[in-house]
Chains A and B, each alone.
Chain A
Amino acid sequence: MAGHFQGAERLGARLRRLGVGLVLGVVAMTAAPAWAQSPPSEVHIGIILPDASDSADPRFAVAQSARQGATMAEEEFVLNAEMFQIDFSVVTAEASGPDVVSAAESLVTDDGVYAVAGAFDTEEGRLLSAWAAEKGVPFVNLLAPDDRLRNELCAATSFHIAPSAAMYLDSLAGWYVRAGLRNWFVVQADNEESADQYARLNRSLTERHFGAREVGHAVVATAAPLDQSVIDDISGSGADLVVLLTPAADQLTALTAMETAGLDLMVTGFPYPEAQTRAFFEQSRQAAPKLGAGMRALAWEPTIDAYGARELNARYTDRWGEPMEAAAWAAYQGVKVLFEAAMFGGSTDSEAVLAYFNAPSSVFDVWKGIGTSFRPWDHQLRQPLYLSQIDAEATDARGLGLLVGELPAIYMPGTDPVERLDQIGDLASQSQCRL
């Protein structure tokens, strides 16, 4: 079912009272983004959200957060569109799994969207990316981190706001090695995505972050408890850090098992979308009051207080009464980059939009304090990631996490900012993507 965010509320309503119909000024640029002199008259963007209305569904919190982020994006960018007399809307559809393709098709043919954003896991990312490539529709991957989407499954029409698994794993290596945790035990799930993560993590440790080593490795069945033999292996390995490359729900059961066994070490897990919510943070500290109150990697942290993030987080909290989580941030930025590509590229034609995304001069402000851009070799958005400390005592959602790390550090004058952001993730020479 397609839904349409109608009208801006709160801030929007307040601002619209002051609205004026105006014209776009002529923009002439030198040595800067060649922004269009006139925007398109219409910009309609489609977003596919998970069909997760049951609060017991692990994707419920992610879906709700993404919906709220997309809603706020429409409310804010419709105001920007009005300033330049652009007919703008965000149209949403709810679908999961294979149904995302028909949802995308409907958004384009029935609702007239020029681009689609979505993908809450690898399968949805794969299906939407293939569909978009076939139809020539710009597609933005919001939340699927799987590196295969940026390599053998990459497409000229697909762009990834979701940080890649490689970026997350490099960041974890960077943070924990610098924190002195150098003996890692890695728990991998028995699926292809997790196996790829394990291989990539090994490359992180051996090729990019010298000083840490793997002291043990286990492959566990999905949705199965961590059995005693694995716990014994961890206990006898001398590990000071356990990295769980397992689904979010399995990370929780593993935490409980390790805490019950009395293990005394640090534990973190791969930041699947479900593991980047405050709901997961709460579940983590409940599952294991000690080990579950560790540090987690995130694409966005509600306690970021710099670079204008304070304002974005505050507006979101004011609008929804809860902190802006990673899925909300991704949905908001998905709308933003598609709006700006059309507005500044001057057209919603795929060719123009893709050209804008690919242009070296195209920079996106995603409230991370540095101009971000899509890597030309795999269309991954370069961006900093964050490390959040789960608070064992917090009583409110925002306070459940606290920003404790940022990688790459953006304030490094004298270094090239693009190279700086490319400190995490796969470089061109490592990419299998052929666009």
Chain B
Amino acid sequence: MMGLFARPRRIGVGVGISALAVLLAMPAMAQDETYRVYVANEFGADITVIDSATEEVVNSIKISDRPGEVRPRGMAVSPDGRTIYVSVSDFYPQRQTPEDKIMAIDVESNEVTGEFNAGGNPERIAVSPDGTQIWASLEAIASGAGYDVATGKQFAEHRVGIEAEGVAVSPDYKWAYVTAEATHTVSIIDIAANKVVKHLIVGNRPRVVEFSLDGTRAYVSAEIGGTISVIDTEAQAVIQTIDLGLDSRPVELAVAPDGKRIYVAGGGTSAVYVIDTETNQIVETIREQMGRRPWGIAITPDGKRVFTANGLSDSVSVIDTETLKVINNISVGRGAHSVEIGVVPNNE
């Protein structure tokens, strides 16, 4: 087995920060690195794979032969880049069907290597830094659930707020955070103790939670409130709320590898907000050349490129983080929902 840290590479945003820390210590190597960008196409029922260096589509992974019925949304990439995990459901939130599951897919063979039963409309998922666990938000049953990657068994299910949405695992692998849209909460799960230890009130209709590289902060987007809540992860408390404006519609967010910026996808506003984490102020709002309805967002481990999944224009916008301009738009599948970035498998 390839050692996790033998060759540091990027794993999914919000996970695998330890590996990323090593990566940052090796800038020369990082500059030569290319990554795989995965885009979940909600209506096309497939995953588009993009080479980050050439910005070309290199693969398409079919999730189902029934687009419009089977719905891939949240994703995570294994630390070794060989497997993507996709949360799959149908378009009927309450109906329990075989489509409610998490699929593990080998990105080289496109073969499904595992399926985890995740009844209750799984929406988003995260991988633990060591790649042994998947955590999922189960929207219809207001739960955060943990799965053992090796066995495919669910080992944890915890009640969180109504309409569970975002999920992230802390870089130190101690905590899983789960947001809930209807109750404006983030529930903190102690992974080792396997119990919920706290609920926090955040902004109105929270969507996505992401940890900073060093794990000291977690950021939570709130779509209706137009805010980003800043959580001190040691104190387990909201210490600040960044107001993006009532009409900002923040959905997914990505924390830069150096922790100095947050990139926030502005969903219905077709914008990306760039926030300086020292001042917690917006330093740029990127609108020009942006695709329509950027829902998903991810940043490369070298911090040079941001990719957004644009649901209404079936595209991915590429942002240069130095100029904060959109430098490319790539056509993907129908209804691009989320985007994750992983290392190129077997890229020794």
**Given A315-B94, A363-B224: A80 and B139 interface contact (C-beta under 8 Å):** no
Most chain-A Cβ atoms within 10 A of its Cβ — which of B94, B142, B201?
A: B201
Contact A371 B225 (CB under 8 A): yes
Contact A28 B240 (CB under 8 A): yes
Rounded to whole angstroms, the CA-CA distance of A344 and B243 in the bound complex is 17
Rounded to whole angstroms, the CA-CA distance of A364 and B161 in the bound complex is 17
Contact A27 B93 (CB under 8 A): no
Name the segment of A16-24, A123-131, A205-213 touching the other chain: A16-24
Contact B224 A20 (CB under 8 A): no
User: Cβ of B95: which chain A residues have Cβ within 8 Å of it?
Assistant: 314, 318
Contact B198 A25 (CB under 8 A): yes
Contact A311 B93 (CB under 8 A): yes
User: Cβ of B227: which chain A residues have Cβ within 8 Å of it?
Assistant: 32
Contact B240 A30 (CB under 8 A): yes
Rounded to whole angstroms, the CA-CA distance of A16 and B238 in the bound complex is 26
- Out of B142, B143, B238, name the residue touching A29 (CB < 8 Å): B238
Question: In chain B, what residue has the closest Cβ to A412?
Answer: B247
Name the segment of A46-54, A166-174, A413-421 touching the other chain: A413-421
Task: Confirm or deny: B181 has a beta carbon within 8 angstroms of a beta carbon on chain A.
Answer: yes
User: Cβ of A344: which chain B residues have Cβ within 8 Å of it?
Assistant: 201
Task: Confirm or deny: B271 has a beta carbon within 8 angstroms of a beta carbon on chain A.
Answer: yes
- Out of A23, A28, A84, A308, name the residue touching B205 (CB < 8 Å): A308
Rounded to whole angstroms, the CA-CA distance of A8 and B185 in the bound complex is 20
Rounded to whole angstroms, the CA-CA distance of A370 and B204 in the bound complex is 10
Contact A15 B141 (CB under 8 A): yes
**Given A11-B142, A80-B185: A24 and B201 interface contact (C-beta under 8 Å):** yes
User: Cβ of A84: which chain B residues have Cβ within 8 Å of it?
Assistant: 199
User: Cβ of B241: which chain A residues have Cβ within 8 Å of it?
Assistant: 28-32
Contact B159 A363 (CB under 8 A): no
User: Cβ of B140: which chain A residues have Cβ within 8 Å of it?
Assistant: 311, 314-315
- Scan residues 309-366 of chain A and give those whose CB is less than 8 A from a CB of chain B: 310-312, 314-315, 317-318, 344, 363-365
Contact B246 A27 (CB under 8 A): no
- Out of A24, A35, A312, A413, name the residue touching B199 (CB < 8 Å): A24
Task: Confirm or deny: A83 has a beta carbon within 8 angstroms of a beta carbon on chain B.
Answer: yes
How far apart are B311's CB and chain A's nearest CB, in angstroms? 11
**Given A76-B162, A317-B94, A365-B224: A23 and B270 interface contact (C-beta under 8 Å):** no
User: Cβ of A19: which chain B residues have Cβ within 8 Å of it?
Assistant: 159
Task: Confirm or deny: B157 has a beta carbon within 8 angstroms of a beta carbon on chain A.
Answer: yes
How far apart are B68's CB and chain A's nearest CB, in angstroms? 13
Task: Confirm or deny: B236 has a beta carbon within 8 angstroms of a beta carbon on chain A.
Answer: yes
Digit string of B169-189 for contact with A (CB within 8 Å is 1, else 0)? 000000000000111110100
Digit string of B192-222 for contact with A (CB within 8 Å is 1, else 0)? 0001111111011100000000000000000
How far apart are A359's CB and chain B's nearest CB, in angstroms? 13
Rounded to whole angstroms, the CA-CA distance of A252 and B243 in the bound complex is 49
Rounded to whole angstroms, the CA-CA distance of A365 and B225 in the bound complex is 8
**Given A308-B205, A365-B205: A31 and B243 interface contact (C-beta under 8 Å):** yes
User: Cβ of B184: which chain A residues have Cβ within 8 Å of it?
Assistant: 365
User: Cβ of A33: which chain B residues have Cβ within 8 Å of it?
Assistant: 204, 225
Contact A35 B157 (CB under 8 A): no
Task: Confirm or deny: B239 has a beta carbon within 8 angstroms of a beta carbon on chain A.
Answer: yes
Rounded to whole angstroms, the CA-CA distance of A314 and B271 in the bound complex is 30
Most chain-A Cβ atoms within 10 A of its Cβ — which of B92, B182, B237, B268?
A: B182
Task: Confirm or deny: B132 has a beta carbon within 8 angstroms of a beta carbon on chain A.
Answer: no
User: Cβ of A18: which chain B residues have Cβ within 8 Å of it?
Assistant: 143, 157-159
How far apart are B69's CB and chain A's nearest CB, in angstroms? 15
Task: Confirm or deny: A199 has a beta carbon within 8 angstroms of a beta carbon on chain B.
Answer: no
Contact B268 A365 (CB under 8 A): no
Digit string of B254-297 for contact with A (CB within 8 Å is 1, else 0)? 00000000000000111100000000000000000000000000
User: Cβ of B269: which chain A residues have Cβ within 8 Å of it?
Assistant: 413
Task: Confirm or deny: B163 has a beta carbon within 8 angstroms of a beta carbon on chain A.
Answer: yes
Task: Confirm or deny: B342 has a beta carbon within 8 angstroms of a beta carbon on chain A.
Answer: no
Contact A28 B237 (CB under 8 A): yes
Task: Confirm or deny: A26 has a beta carbon within 8 angstroms of a beta carbon on chain B.
Answer: yes
User: Cβ of A410: which chain B residues have Cβ within 8 Å of it?
Assistant: 268
Question: In chain B, what residue has the closest Cβ to A364?
Answer: B204
How far apart are A151's CB and chain B's nearest CB, in angstroms? 27
How far apart are B172's CB and chain A's nearest CB, in angstroms? 19
Question: In chain B, what residue has the closest Cβ to A12?
Answer: B142
How far apart are A106's CB and chain B's nearest CB, in angstroms? 30
Contact A411 B200 (CB under 8 A): no
Task: Confirm or deny: B226 has a beta carbon within 8 angstroms of a beta carbon on chain A.
Answer: yes
User: Cβ of B247: which chain A residues have Cβ within 8 Å of it?
Assistant: 370, 413, 415-417
Rounded to whole angstroms, the CA-CA distance of A94 and B157 in the bound complex is 39
User: Cβ of B158: which chain A residues have Cβ within 8 Å of it?
Assistant: 18, 20
Contact B224 A15 (CB under 8 A): no
Question: In chain A, what residue has the closest Cβ to B236?
Answer: A25
Q: List 24 A-B contacts (CB under 8 A).
A: A11-B142, A16-B159, A18-B143, A22-B199, A24-B201, A25-B200, A26-B238, A27-B238, A28-B240, A32-B227, A83-B183, A83-B187, A83-B199, A310-B93, A311-B163, A314-B92, A314-B93, A318-B94, A363-B224, A363-B225, A365-B181, A371-B204, A371-B246, A410-B268
Question: Using a CB–CB distance below 8 Å, which chain B residues touch chain A?
Answer: 91-95, 139-143, 157-159, 161-163, 181-185, 187, 195-201, 203-205, 224-227, 235-243, 246-247, 268-271
- A308-B182, A314-B140, A417-B247 known; 9 new pairs, CB 8 Å cut-off, are A27-B237, A32-B225, A310-B93, A311-B140, A344-B201, A365-B205, A371-B226, A411-B268, A413-B271
The 8 closest A-B pairs by CB, nearest first: A18-B159, A318-B94, A25-B200, A32-B241, A31-B243, A314-B93, A365-B224, A26-B237
